[in-house]
Amino acid sequence: MLKRDRWRLILVAVVVIAALLTVFPIRGRVRLGLDLEGGAHILLQAVGTPEQPVTNDSVERLLAVLRNRVDQYGVTEPVIQREGDDRIIVDLPGVADPEAALELIGKTALLEFRQVVEAGSALPPGPERGNYDSRESYLAAQQRWDDVKTSIEEADALMMERAEEDPELLFAPGDEESAYLLGKAYVSGKYLVDAKTSYDNLGRPVVTLEFDSEGAQLFDEATAGNIGRQIAIVLDGVVISAPVVQERISGGNAQISGRFSSAQAQRLAIMLRAGALPVPVDILENRSVGPTMGSDSIRAGIRAGLIGAFMVLLFMLIYYRAQGLVADAALFVTLLLVFAGLISFKATLTLPGIAGIILTIGMAVDGNILIFERMKEEIASGKTPYASVDAGFRKAFTTIFDANVTTLIAAAVLFYFGSGPIRGFAVTLSIGIIASVFSALVVTRALLQVYQGRGRARVAR
């Protein structure tokens, strides 16, 4: 064969070997996007109020607190970045629980111990028909319950009015549909030195707090002045418990019990340790995917890809026969190059990206089909099989080029405007296009020259 053809063959061999080395073993080499690995992508915006506008400083402090929280939660390779003046992007790969991530990032976690001015009653559970002998007694009980409910609502409304009139007072809901009217804050979370999780003597999860010396003193005064009365433990404006003070506590240690699970207690401890968010945040966008979902998606993608590839391989074999085999070999090389490209450019593979690869399977044979059809025409016009390969490639080149450039334009636009998964799609698509063009022009040609050049000129019809 011609020297040029030999060089082409060597080039193909070198590229394929390099690609094989890059790709295998594949485990862990491809960077996975959040939608495949599992994790959370959260976009936050700092919320300012007229009294407390958002400043550069408060956003920086916000970043610091978030980093601290995420650090303690133990996420590997988190991304916490400022976007614009008042927005922050948080990417937490591998977070198993989407709800947890949201709470960790979005919750202000302002803890306060406040004076209880008035405590509303909790609404008892409504009467159940089964507990009463007769319908009349049940209805009577229902009526009494309704009366109780109304009186509680009225009392709550009165408390709300008082809170509105007096700036020192705060109306706060508690659990079990109870409400409180709270007075001044004695001590807050910023005096905390440590917060840990533990279990109380009933085995329920609690958070134990340790105040610094200043906080300990404030707490001491608060407990001393309220013996026999309730003190409300308020988290972000909701009363999580309001225990009665039994004795003066001077050691600066306190315990918060509420209805939390041990996972929730742990998160609360983290947030208390890292500090409350200096400004409240609004969650503008949240996309969290659990790891099960992620691996399900990968599995589904691989399955669809294999089935799709198989269908294409079969079709090419049936329709183009021997040449189809060449196209199929080129397809393998294309896919190999796509993965090698993804790995070497450290591109991130996302779910749409997998779709992009599957699309590439279809598009990869495009170039080959173009060439084969051209070759048919060349042979029909009288050229030898060997010369028709040459002519076919030459004429098909401009068409292949034009056709793929336009898809690249679309991919470029997607890359520019998209983010995350869409970007992943644009990147995989682009790599796929480049790989398939290379493979159609170089690999297929090399293989065909070898095949035709050996004189076994079996042309596929």
Partner 1 sequence: MIKRQFNINFMGIRRIALGVSIALILGSLALLMTKGLNLGIDFSGGNLVQLEFASPVAVSDIRDSLVEVEQGQSVIQAYSDRGVIIRLQVEDEAVQQTLSVLRDSFGELEVLRLEKVGPVVGEQLRKEAIIAVVIALVGILGYITLRFRFRFGIASVAALLHDTIITLGVFSLTGREISLPFIAAILTIVGYSLNDTIVVLDRVRENWKKLRQLGIDGLINLSVNQTLSRTINTSLTTFLPVLALFLWGGPVIANFAFAFLVGIVVGTYSSIYISGALLAEWYARSPEKK
Cβ proximity to partner 1, 156 vs 366, nearer residue? 366
Decide: is 93 part of the binding site for partner 1 (CB under 8 A).
no
- Single residue of 59, 179, 254, 363 touching partner 1 by CB under 8 A: 363
Size of the site for partner 1 (CB under 8 A): 72
Q: What are the tokens at 86? A: 């008042």
Look at residues 286, 389, 425, 430 and name the one whose alpha carbon lies nearest to residue 8: 389
Look at residues 375, 377, 359 and name the one whose alpha carbon lies nearest to residue 448: 375
- Single residue of 411, 435, 440, 441 touching partner 1 by CB under 8 A: 411
Strand partners, 196: 208
Cβ proximity to partner 1, 139 vs 413, nearer residue? 413
Cβ proximity to partner 1, 149 vs 248, nearer residue? 149
Q: What is the chain's alpha carbon radius of gyration, rounded to the nearest angstrom? A: 34
- Single residue of 304, 345, 384, 458 touching partner 1 by CB under 8 A: 304
x/- mask, partner 1, residues 149-188, rule CB under 8 A, reads ----------------------------------------
Residue found by looking up tokens 């869409």 in the block: 422
Shortest reach from residue 158's CB to partner 1, in Å: 25
Residues 6-25 that bind partner 1 (CB under 8 A): none
**φ, ψ at 87 (rounded to 5°):** -115, 150
Residues 23-62 that bind partner 1 (CB under 8 A): 35, 43
Where b means 16+ CB within 10 Å and e means fewer, 369-383 reads: bbbbebbbebbeeeb
- Single residue of 47, 245, 249, 369 touching partner 1 by CB under 8 A: 369
Residues 100-119 that bind partner 1 (CB under 8 A): 102, 106
If DSSP states are collapsed to H, E and C, what string results for 59-92?
A: HHHHHHHHHHHHHHHCCCCCEEEEECCCEEEEEE
Decide: is 95 part of the binding site for partner 1 (CB under 8 A).
no
Among the residue ranges 70-78, 172-180, 352-360, 442-450, the one whose residues contact partner 1 (CB under 8 A): 352-360
Burial of 198 (0-12, 13-18, 19+ CB in 10 A): middle
**CA 411 to CA 332: how far, in whole Å?**
23
Among the residue ranges 46-54, 152-160, 257-265, 397-405, the one whose residues contact partner 1 (CB under 8 A): 397-405
Answer yes or no: are the C-beta atoms of 175 and 240 closer than 8 Å: yes
- Single residue of 1, 54, 403, 459 touching partner 1 by CB under 8 A: 403
Residues 377-396 that bind partner 1 (CB under 8 A): 377
